[in-house]
Amino acid sequence: MPARLIESLQTTEPLAEIFSDESLLQAMLDFEAALARAEAHAGIVPRSAAEAIGRAARADRFDVHAIARQALRAGTPGIPIAKALASRVGQAHAEAARFVHWGATSQDVADTALILLLKRAQPILAADWVRLKRALVRISDQHQKTVMVGRTLMQAALPITFGLKAAGWLGALRRSHVRMEAAFAEALVLQFGGASGTLAVLGNQGLRVGRAMAADLGLGYPDAPWHTFRDRLAALVTACGVLTVSLGKMARDISLLMQSEVGEVVEPGGKGRGGSSTMPQKQNPIASALTLAAASRLPGLVAAFLSGMVQEHERGVGGWQAEWPTVGSVVESTGLALRSMAEAAEGLRVNRRRMRQDIDATRGTIFAEKASMLLSAKLGREKAQRIVARAARKTESGPHRLAEVLAEMSEIKRVLDHRSLRDLETPEKYLGVAEQFRKRLLSAPKRKRE
């Protein structure tokens, strides 16, 4: 199912289908059918009634728009769903109709339906994460020796490798993904508590029915109903937010590296991807743009969810009613960001030559720290920094490189030999433990916590 036009820049088609009206309606009907089957198994309702309810619980037999209008009047979709299902069941089996929604409350239906959608969304997010992870490992390995300008406060700094940069992206994303998966594992649980969270109408059969429903729907069974305890969903929403903003950091870096003045990487293009409506020469960072848009949305959505967590007593007023669009938007935005960055990483073109040119364009000034440290042993730290700072300013205003300027300074001639100055501007000789850090980032899950 394609996304609605107004949502076309915040979701993917698979996720748009999962969070569609028809999908949500079917999830609510699945709850009702599972409830009837579990109660029939426990001897609470006739088996024939459960079978009739199961046959009727098909979304294509209901007017989803009518149910939506009635939900606005009722303050919950659970009431019109139960009424519509009972009416449909009654057409074929009058006696079975009275057993629809037996012992449940409207929030049980709404919450469990949302959880069922999240269960369907999880493998989609997981598949795109695998694509992205594999692409970043490949990029990091391929570019373990590709030197580039490191940038701090948007200014040229010491050299790094592109392999380390890609590994850094992967490290943050992997940590974020682990948290999200753990949050999914906790959140995918049944909601079934009845009017006040005691399942009193089922007598001593409440746990039996609940466990059977959870097994039927493929969900976990919690210790107790969680009507006004939204911590599991909050952890998932927050984890999605952290992952999406971490993807945004990667997208920000790529979009900056794609600037015409930098030109060190290029996102994949193709038909209809990344062009301009007026400028034929352009290749725009579309995957990065979509991801950055998602990263801009997520903090507000996370805050909106958290602000609704303080709910009253056993059933809240307004808190959980606000959650459906928030949670849906969070998961869809996270999915879009994951898929966009997976596509970007899989087809990312890295311009090694331009990276080297951008190092050379600094005319050696990014090695001022190295020069200062070499001189500090001979002249003292403060004096060495003054001399190198003076040389750097002269380099920036003249035609020569830093090593050439330093070689002409009398203070330098007395303490540094020609070989030291010759090697000063070799980036491969001033990478520190970049490669060790890169390898640690790639192998992080295999190490014990240190």
Catalytic machinery residues = 276, 315
Residue type (1 letter), 293: A
Asked if residue 163 lies in contact with residue 141, where contact means CB atoms within 8 angstroms, the answer is: yes
Residue type (1 letter), 93: H
- Collapsing DSSP states into helix, strand and coil, what is residue 151? strand
Residues 320 and 346: their CA atoms lie apart, in Å, by 39
- Collapsing DSSP states into helix, strand and coil, what is residue 149? strand
Asked if residue 82 lies in contact with residue 165, where contact means CB atoms within 8 angstroms, the answer is: no
The values of phi and psi at residue 234, to 5°, are -60, -40
Structure tokens, 396 = 């920036």
Nearest-5° Cα angle at 4, 127 to 274: 65
| Cα separation values, 347 from 167, 269, 364, 438, Å | 17, 8, 32, 21
E strand or H helix that includes residue 48: helix 47-56
- Collapsing DSSP states into helix, strand and coil, what is residue 338? helix
Residues 190 and 176: their CA atoms lie apart, in Å, by 25
E strand or H helix that includes residue 103: none
